Structure 1
Amino acid sequence: MFNPTRDQARLFFLNTWKKYHQEQPLSEAESLALQWMTRHPEYFPTFDAEPEEVLAQDYSVEAGQSNPFLHLSMHLAVAEQVSIDQPPGIRQAYAKLCAKLNDEHLAAHQVFECLAEQIYQQQRNGVAFSSQAYIECVLRHSGV
């Protein structure tokens, strides 16, 4: 399984942004990342910053900061899950949520909440990730 370091993940996004602006060809993964990056203009200044500055930055929730790289990684995780329907049922649950909201971006953000909650419960309680609870959470958001 691919498990990049924090810096590798950040450089992936920064290099994708740079390649995009230099009109260089993008890999399939970079193209997917770019689709989500361009939907977040609030992060453009970060993408345009010097890599050394970005790598040194510690995005703190306590300081009211959003971590653009965590956020985009969540988009990629959900996109991957939906594309391969893993856990089983996520594709259908996400489709229902998209239909209800008529906005796949907003739907993805609501899926993040469910995914984050399951990860939190897993870590807090030392239990296995519950795919069932995750899917049920997404379905609750969709009104099912």
Structure 2
Amino acid sequence: MISQTEEYALRAMTCLAFRHPSYITRDQLFDVTQVPHAYLPKIMLELNRTGLIRSQRGQNGGYALIQHPQNISLLKIIKAVRTGTSKNAPLYASSNSTEINQLNEHLNQTFSMLESVLDQTSLADIITTPVEQNSKEQHCVQK
């Protein structure tokens, strides 16, 4: 499914989408995303390396999206930080067993449908969907 790293990247990118085109500081991202302090910079470095975000040092610095949220799919974010297996390989390879091959084919089709939905869902879709908010919660929206 979605790894912890991929979820953390989705959290960070969603937060950046709410602030687009402004920058958000690393500390603000820590507070809102709840991504561990040692791990967030690694994720942000990978997102920067793949061209999804930019970073700027200094008093008015932080992280910001390079593109408009409408142009960034959830799948693009996931693939930017995906590690381990090939980024385009099927999740379940063929087996010596017909029964297992049938299962694997079904699972691959199911995950392919999920990927299709993630590819069709942009950050803009996420940030324009109203969600009831607890007034005590941290949030990315500028005040």
Q: TM-score, normalised to structure 1's length?
A: 0.31
Tell me which structure has the larger Cα radius of gyration.
Answer: 2
The structure carrying a bigger helix percent of its residues is 1
What is the TM-score when the length of structure 2 is the normalising length?
0.31
